[in-house]
Each structure stands twice: as C-alpha cells, then as structure tokens.
Amino acid sequence: MITDAKRAAGRAAAEFAREGMILGLGSGSTILFALERLGERIRKEGLSLRGVPTSRATREAALKAGIPLVEPHEVDRVDLCIDGADEVDPNLDLIKGGGGALLREKIVMTASLERIVVVDPRKLVPRLGEKFLLPLEVLPFGWSFTAGEVRKLGAEPMLRKKEEGDFYLTDNGNYILDCRFGGIQDPPGLERELKGIPGVLECGLFVGLAGRVLVGKEDGSVEELVRPGLNPSPGGPGRPPVPGE
C-alpha cells in the first residue's frame, strides 16, 4: 500500500518535466518511480531533457531508465529539482539525509528554479525531529570533537554505521552524525547554529526550499501542498503550470 503511494507521488512529479529542462534528480525510494516515468516519457514522447543526479545510486537508476545525465559544472542552471524527504512539517520545511546524500541534495535543490518534494503520508509530521533523527554530514577528521559541539545544542549525536559495523561513508567520503533532538522548535535557527560548528559540512534541515510537496495516497491519488506565494498546478497535481501562465 505504501508502495502505491510512493509510486503515485513519484510519477506525478515526473509530469512537471518539460522539453529541454535540466532536472535535479534526488535520492530515495520514491524518486525511483519519478525516474521510471521520466524514462517512459523520453521513450514515448521524445521528451528531451538532462538530469543532474545527487547520488551514485540515483545515477545508476537514471541511466537504467534511459535518462541522459550531466555533471553540475556542465550546466548553467537547474530548472526543476525532484527529491524526497524523511519528514515534512506544516511549513513545508524538511528533514532529509536518511539515505546519506543530504549535501549533494541541498546543493542541487538550492540551485534549482523549481523544487518538488515527493512523499507518502507517513512523512507528514506536526513538528520536525520528534521521531526522525536529524542527519549531519561531518568531516571524518575530528568528528568526535564536532559531535561534542553538537551535543551542546541539546542533541544526542550518534555516528552512523553500516550493518557490518563499519563507519558509514557518504558519496563524498564523509561521516554522518544522526542526532536526536526530541522535536525541533526553531528549524531555521537550529540550521544556522549547526552550520556554524567547525566540521559540520551540511545539515539535514531543508528550510524554505520546498516549493511543492506531492503527497501520494494509497488509492493512487496525489495531494499537492504549495508554499505560500506559489500557485497550485492547473488541473491538480501532476499537471504542471504552463510557462507564462
């Protein structure tokens, strides 16, 4: 049932892609359905686009789907970013990083003109960080000192490890600290404080970045949540705004 919800959200997001776009391709299980639909549109509609993947796993899945890829330095813009989230609050602020790609994801999302986040209903929460741990990508050198500074902010940081017990490494070769806060009262303020700690390369708080959140439902329908100032899509989720309207 949750798979049906993820499929609905991911495939709806792919309908926002238009001819000639540069797409930021996020990471996670819901994104796989967006890649699947983008590949279908390329084959059936002759849609021309290029993607900037945010992880090695996404790169492999995108190539398998038949999506042409480019490196970030090879393009001067990203038109649309499609990404997932681990939590979404009522302000459409996010926690991301469960898959370990938060640094690359934030770089690409920040560089994008439009940003769509795809989730299933379980990801909607009244307050960030009450259940999901906040990931931080940190430099391996001195990581224990970095964790100590994070602890001063009221967190319980834990170094992420793989199932076999080895330290988890991001695609950038860094560590992840998963931090328990027990609820985050001020996401923008906490993001600033965490980013000010030496050794913290990026924080899993994505504040003010999501433009639209597509929430897939188990019956295959999709609810569109829109940040104030943006217009809902004409005809409902998955029906992208026409340029100039």
pLDDT tens-place string over residues 125-147 = 999 999 999 999 999 999 999 99
From the CB of residue 139, how many other CB atoms can be counted at a distance below 10 Å?
A: 15
Summary mean pLDDT of the chain: 94
Write down the domain spans for the chain.
Answer: 2-122+207-226, 134-203
pTM as predicted:
0.92
237: confidence class by pLDDT, cuts 50, 70, 90? low
CATH class of the domain whose range is 2-122+207-226:
alpha beta
On the question of pLDDT at 241 being above 80, the answer is no
Out of 105, 137, 191, 202, pick the active-site residue: 105
Question: Does 191 qualify as catalytic in the annotation?
Answer: no
Tell me if domain 2-122+207-226 and domain 134-203 are identical in fold. Answer: no
Q: 3-state DSSP helix/strand/coil percent for the chain, to nearest 5? A: 30, 25, 45
* CATH number of the structural domain 134-203: 3.30.70.260
| Residue range 162-197, pLDDT digits in tens | 988 899 999 999 999 999 999 999 999 999 999 999
pLDDT in tens, 64-79: 999 999 999 999 999 9
